[in-house]
Amino acid sequence: MKEKVKIFTIFAIILSMTGCLAGCGSGETANNPGSRAIKKKINIKDIAWNVDEGIVGGERYVLLSYTNDTQCTITNFEIIFNEKDGITEEEKSDFYSDIQKKFELSDEDMDDLKSRSISMHAETDRVVKPGESISNVNCYYYGGSFYLKDINHYNLVEPDIATIKYLEEDKIFTVYYDYGSKKYSTEEKTEIAYQWSQTDLGSKIPKPDVKVVKSSIDDETSFMFDAYGLTLEQFNAYVDECKELGYTDESNNYEGSYTADNAEGYNVHLYYDERDHSMSVTISAPKTESE
């Protein structure tokens, strides 16, 4: 049943993707150096990517890998794949039959699915420096979050749009490449690469030694952020830094996760994401009597 729920979330995400491409949110500025300058920095030919089957955790997946041969540090890479021209009705029929069985969809559900082009996507927030390579990036059906595991299904699509985000000084720039028109376009706004708290909570926790920090909540009661470009060893070192600041009243901790209070009642929760080599951090202020 969980699989069926996930496939339905695909459709809502597809409808919202156009808005997402426009790009908006906290930590953005309008300082863009211009399309011509960005295109000189990012050329899709300098991102050598490949999609193939691979084994992760004993299971077969369809996975993306790539090497960053640009001169920039890439902070996000995504490719959207759309249905190829010229695939046969038999190939489509086999695909839809597999999907219906996998997700236990009704005939009515399938009619809705068949009204849309077959699509898939792969995306990673791994920080990849020039010359570095990454692998085992999962591919997903449509715009959703269900893993693609059948290479025959992937063979029905071709690359449509690539999104590349890269770091320059203290900002993140976004470039799109359209495989159909073979043209580049750039996001007007940039993102602040290191988004730290503007409240007192920022002084209650160590600043991660990374280039990219994205804040999602920042108020007087809670500061929540994701830090990118860390190994598990660096995460564990960050946990030790928190302990040195007094966060030692531990509860429910395990490898890759740490939750603790300090003597003042501040709480930290840390979680390591091995897939994106990132950590999610939340620091919460002590609860008041009214809470």
Strands (E), 35-109: 47-56, 59-68, 73-83
| Domain positions in the chain | 2-191, 200-284
Residue 54, Cβ density class (10 Å: 0-12 exposed, 13-18 middle, ≥19 buried): middle
Phi, psi of 228 (to 5 degrees): -115, 150
End-to-end CA distance of the chain: 37
pLDDT in tens, 69-85: 999 999 999 999 999 99
Task: Give Cβ neighbours of residue 271 (< 8 Å, ≥ 6 apart).
Answer: 256, 257, 279, 280, 281
How far apart are alpha carbons 290 and 240 in whole angstroms?
Answer: 33
Residue 231, Cβ density class (10 Å: 0-12 exposed, 13-18 middle, ≥19 buried): exposed
Find out whether 253 and 243 touch, Cβ atoms under 8 Å: no
How far apart are alpha carbons 180 and 159 in whole angstroms?
Answer: 9
Which of 1-5, 119-123, 280-284 shows the lowest per-residue confidence on average (mean pLDDT)? 1-5
Name the CA dihedral angle for 254, 57, 128, 80, rounded to a multiple of 10 degrees. -120
Strands (E), 36-178: 47-56, 59-68, 73-83, 119-124, 133-141, 157-168, 171-178
Is a pLDDT exceeding 70 seen at residue 42?
yes
Check residue 41 and give its pLDDT.
85
CA 63 to chain centre: 15
Options 1.10.3470, 1.10.1060, 3.30.310, 1.10.8; which CATH number does 200-284 get? 3.30.310
What's the rounded mean pLDDT across residues 234-257?
A: 93
CA 154 to chain centre: 20
Is a pLDDT exceeding 70 seen at residue 289?
no
Check residue 13 and give its pLDDT.
43
pLDDT tier at 145, thresholds 50, 70, 90:
confident
Identity of the amino acid at 157: V
State the DSSP H helix or E strand holding residue 8, giving kind and residue range, or none if neither.
helix 2-22
- What pTM did the predictor assign? 0.85
As a whole number, the mean pLDDT across the chain is 88
Check residue 3 and give its pLDDT.
46
Q: Which residues of 59-87 are buried (b: 16+ CB within 10 A; e: fewer)?
A: eebbbbbbbbebebbbbbbbbbbbbeeee
Q: How much of the chain exceeds pLDDT 70, in percent?
A: 85
Which of 28-37, 130-139, 163-172, 201-210 shows the lowest per-residue confidence on average (mean pLDDT)? 28-37
pLDDT in tens, 82-113: 999 999 999 999 999 998 998 888 999 889 88
Check residue 205 and give its pLDDT.
98
